[in-house]
Amino acid sequence: MNHPVTCALSDFSARYLQAWCDADRGFPASEHLVGLISPCVVNDNGKNVTWKPIERQPMIALDGVEKGMDLALHSDINAFYGSQFSGDMSAMFGELSLDLLQAFNDDDIERLQQNILGHLVTQRRMKLKPTVFIAVVDDESQVISICNLTGQVVLETLGKGTRQVLANDIVAFLAQLQPVVVEG
């Protein structure tokens, strides 16, 4: 599928891989992924896993979330999480340091859907517009999310309903991200 979000995520993933290459580090590496099975694993030496984003065919939707909440998710959310397998990718959005969340394997998709369901249930109880998180930041009380109604990317303070618009959509957000190479 040639969804604009899929293309933008693929472009950022390529820039992320290039940043690792430019830093003479090879493929992205993480000690937290050791022993996990994924189509994006390049090598697992028992201490670190090197990986690269890989297109998911066919693309999937977060059906468990939609059924569990009786809510249609914004197409950008499904495209973001359903188009590739990847480790999380560190980046900067202006001065904001973040980790872009990704699904490493099918088990990750299941955990992700459970976490999103919990997030949406809390929002529903608080009578907040539904959002789905796509990145974490250093401040654990905040996440970067896609607003399910507008598609805007927002920095939200959990449990407060405070939201700052970062970009009009995920495509614009991904285009502004600068990859960061970190120790795994």
According to the model, what pLDDT value does residue 63 have?
A: 94
> What pLDDT shows up at residue 100?
98
Question: Looking at domain 4-179, which CATH architecture does it have?
Answer: 3-Layer(aba) Sandwich (3.40)
Q: How far is CA 60 from the centre of its chain?
A: 14
The confidence score (pLDDT) of residue 141 equals: 94
pLDDT at 1 (0 to 100): 53
All structural domains of the chain with their residue ranges: 4-179
The helix/strand/coil state of 11 is helix
What's the N-to-C CA distance of the chain in angstroms? 32
Identify the pLDDT of residue 161: 79
Query: pTM for the whole thing?
Result: 0.95
Give the burial string for 145-156 (b: 16+ CB within 10 Å, else e): bbbbeebbbbbb
pLDDT at 178: 98
SS3 label, residue 135: strand
pLDDT along the chain (184 residues), means of 10: 90 98 94 95 95 94 93 96 97 97 95 95 93 96 97 93 95 98 75
